[in-house]
Structure 1
Amino acid sequence: MCIRYLGLVLLIWCPGELHAQSATQSCSAPTLDGGKFSPKRETYANGVYVTYSCDLGRKPAVEGWWARSTCQNGTWSPQPQCILEEACIPPEIPNAKYTESPTGWYEDGQKIRITCDEAYELKNRDATALCTNGSWSSVPVCERSVDACGEPPQVLHAIIVDQRNQELFAADTELQYECEDGYTAEGAGNDKTIVCIAGAWTEGPTCSKAPTPSTGPGGSTEGGAGGEHTASAGSGTQPAGGGSSTSSDSNGRDSRPSFTDIFRCGPYPTIANGAVVKAERMYLKYGCADYHTLVGSDTVVCYSDGTWSQLPVCKEESCVLNPARYRDFKLSGFQRLGEREARHIPCIWDHYYSRVQCINGAITHSQWTLRVKCSRGVTAGPTTKTKF
């Protein structure tokens, strides 16, 4: 009888053991060109790792002079590789993404273009990184966008539907509130949706206790328990025709002008060297003409008192030769110069020219001059410091 039970136990135990063994796979010894690894075996169990280093003139395709690779169900991760010292491993750029190399590394001289995540923007509009002799030069930075919004405002007796676990929200993001049972939305046109505009959230709803109808004769639905008045005509509202109020409403909230539809503010405001590039119900977006940089927020909103938010400014780029400004040069149109870039520009007088250079974001005649002047007899040697 004992032997019969023992056989039954073995039949139950063995299939489970066989299943556990087949669930994971071991790894063969990795192939490593230009390096050596340890420990050396023919096969490695799942979860076992090897360390490796590379020969002179090569380096691992990960950070550091030595690396580790782990057997994960029959595959080495990351795959052991020894690359040339002049090559680059993938850069770490927070809040950004870029096209990954199929080899896991980048050749010397290869360039990548970076795209920032939502709610982030490129610092100084620099979007590329260059692999130079084993390291990345001028790695872009993704910083918080000026139009991004932080945590949405908390509304009493309400939750946000489909709450996202994130710290920043991109411009134009919409979030919707849901009042708790027994509460209804009031204020802001009973709109339960808030929108991220120009770095701030639009006004959210107010979730108030739903009134209980009176059952007595002549009862009124305006009064609460004990005859307390819960709603009064015109309380906390703006007068018709605009005019901002800075008083507080019955709930003690600040009643300063909130965002409203742009048609309430009349014609779109204009800015020099710029124009409206996008018009939505709640905001305008502006862009600048060529060779101009937008300063300030590109998003303009309309307030409930009929006024526009602060307008951006389109500033002419510093290192740009404008024919209307530099009239002593023979220019067929705008010419942009990169930082420290120098050119020999002909003057309006025949056989004369000037050496123009962009230094620290300004057009200069020499390293120490702030403006350019066309001078007779300019040579490739030192130039005068006469201001333009």
Structure 2
Amino acid sequence: MSIKPSGAAEVLHTVDCPPPPTVKDGDYLPKRATYKTKKFVKYSCSDGFTLYGRKRLRCKGNGQWPATPVCVENLCPAPPTFTGGTFSPVSASYSPGTIISFLCNPGFHLVGPAGSTCQDNLSWTEIPCCVETECGDPPTIADGTFLLTPSPPYTPNDIIFYICPDPTTHRLEGPVVMTCQEDGTWSANPLCVLIECGDPPTVADGTFTPSPPYTRNEMVTYTCSSTHTLEGPATITCQDDGTWTANPVCVLIVCGPPPSIPLGTFSSIQDSYSPLDSVTYECCNGITITGAPTTNICGIDGTWTLTGASLPSCTPTVCPPPPSVVQGVIPSSDQKLTYSINEVISYECNFGTKSGNSATNTSGADGLWTNTFPDVCLEM
């Protein structure tokens, strides 16, 4: 057995360290096969990761390394409480560069950006907020007003009613109700429109006065051309609904057949006559026409210029030869071309005169014989 000299220093034996443990998402330097006691290695993490633990580790004399650090991914925490809405995607933490989107609940609207980004410093860009939506004052309309039900402020689905205060002069066009919408705007508003009628209906061969514009209860009057007459109301009225009452028509003026005269006729003969058409009278059987003018004219009012006593007349001065008789003759002494008014002739019967009959005939004042078809002679 050997004995150490007294007072001699104790000699320590050391062991080299193997390569240190690897770190996920990180690395160390320098790299060697073995490390002498008290030699250091330095750890670092990949981009986006943070080192937790000691960065420098020293090889111990027993050949061991101290506790190894870890690399933890850099993450943003969940965004602050978002009242009145929701965001997506929802997670406990977020990687830098992640964008979340915000959406407000009905009745709220977003103030600020619609999205926020997780930054490299693990903070969020601006976070918006959801504010309860309100509509401003309802739009005013000319010649109209609205009923405040409810009172302001106005929130989504609140409604107001519009009216035209004087319905006799204005009518409401458009929706009666306006609604405060989810985006803080009002739905379409109506208009109070002056009650007016368009141009009155045109009437063929007619005109009307006065000229536009035409408001409620205003009237126009129609007149026809000189060759037409008005049928229906001469005046029509602009009504409350902007329409006109029924209009008249202008009808062509015509005259019916002209009045006749005894013992006479007229020409030309037609079913109807236009204004200023004329007819000419003449007498039958050579009778002379006397009295008024022989021309009758259809007037512009549809009546003839000559009527009644103003018509000409046919006054006979002679009669034509009398009618012949069966089984009899007119004596040669009574035979002539014309006969005076009230002249009497006698028939000569071959077999005698019928009982109760006179064998005479008389020319009348109307130029006709009193017995038109004499049947006075006996027959065998």
Relative to its length, the structure with more helix (as a share) is 1
TM-score (normalised: structure 2): 0.23
User: What is the TM-score when the length of structure 1 is the normalising length?
Assistant: 0.22
